[in-house]
Amino acid sequence: MPIFSLDRLYELFTNSENVLVSPSKWEDPFENFILQSSVQTASGETGKFAFHDDFYGQCWTFHTASDAMWRIYSPNKDAVRVRTSVDKLARSLSGSLGQWAHVQAFIGRVDYLSDQKLKRFAGTVFELGFNPDAIARSLLIKRKAFAHEREVRLLYLEKGGTKHPNGLYRYTIDPHTLIDQIMIDPRLTVSDAKVHMREIRNRTEFKGKIKRSLLYAPPEGFVVNVP
């Protein structure tokens, strides 16, 4: 479940496109550090990975309720959380690639590693060769400081070396099939949330559930017993 701005949500429905972004545009400068690093062969030769900019990705989260995620990705309280399943997300990309899906489309949970384990991973990830799975795995690790994100990533590998405009890879989807639920920022008042819900329903014609997050609401039936 990612948190989208309303503009991004409307773009998704209007264009019927999902958009994956080059890691060079991700906020953490340490992203894609393995493919961006210098390499050294067993014979001592050094160089760079020729395919380091051929991946595009989209970050989702397994969180169902997170105060931190709302505050980070919805600073103005005007974003929404979109829900789908891992299977739907994976099929949305692989289904658009035909016979090349097995070497171009990947999805996986991000592992959060200490500096020592990051170094060990970098030294072993390509020990069986530069196959697409190993290359994709190199984008599924982050530092422990980001463990709160509980991230899953959808990844696309451009096998032809094409550089997509503005570092964005677009592919066609049916948003009404892909998206299961849209959630409104929990910090909005009930009345403001209803305004957002009506606008989203009118502009997207989405038939699924649109809810206001109850992150800050007390548990249902919550009662304090006193003597």
Q: Is residue 190 part of a domain?
A: yes
Q: Is residue 219 part of a domain?
A: no
pLDDT at 123 over 90: no
Its sign, for the CA torsion 163, 165, 168, 174, is negative
Residue 53 CA to residue 161 CA, distance in Å, equals: 9
Q: Is residue 124 part of a domain?
A: yes
Q: What's the pLDDT tens digit per position in 9-46? A: 999 999 999 999 987 777 665 665 655 555 555 666 55
Q: Would you say 17 and 10 are in contact if contact means Cβ atoms under 8 Å apart?
A: no
What DSSP character marks residue 215? Answer: T
For 91, the enclosing helix (H) or strand (E) is helix 86-94
Q: Is residue 199 part of a domain?
A: yes
Q: Is residue 217 part of a domain?
A: no
Both ends of the chain: CA-CA distance in Å?
A: 43
Q: Is residue 70 part of a domain?
A: yes
Residue 188: give the domain boundaries.
3-212
Q: Is residue 218 part of a domain?
A: no
Q: Would you say 174 and 15 are in contact if contact means Cβ atoms under 8 Å apart?
A: no
3 CB contacts (<8 Å, ≥6 apart)? Answer: 69, 70, 73, 74, 79, 80, 81, 82
Residue 175 CA to residue 89 CA, distance in Å, equals: 11
Q: How high is the pLDDT of residue 170?
A: 96
Residue 180 CA to residue 172 CA, distance in Å, equals: 17
Q: How high is the pLDDT of residue 174?
A: 97
Q: How high is the pLDDT of residue 163?
A: 83
pLDDT at 49 over 60: no
Q: How high is the pLDDT of residue 127?
A: 81
Q: How high is the pLDDT of residue 35?
A: 57
Query: For residues 134 and 223, which has the higher predicted lDDT (pLDDT)?
Result: 134
Q: Is residue 203 part of a domain?
A: yes
Q: How many domains is the chain built from? A: 1
Decide: residue 22, CB within 10 A, 0-12 exposed, 13-18 middle, 19+ buried. Answer: buried
Residue 128 CA to residue 143 CA, distance in Å, equals: 24
Q: Is 221 left (phi over 0), alpha (psi -120 to 50) or beta?
A: left
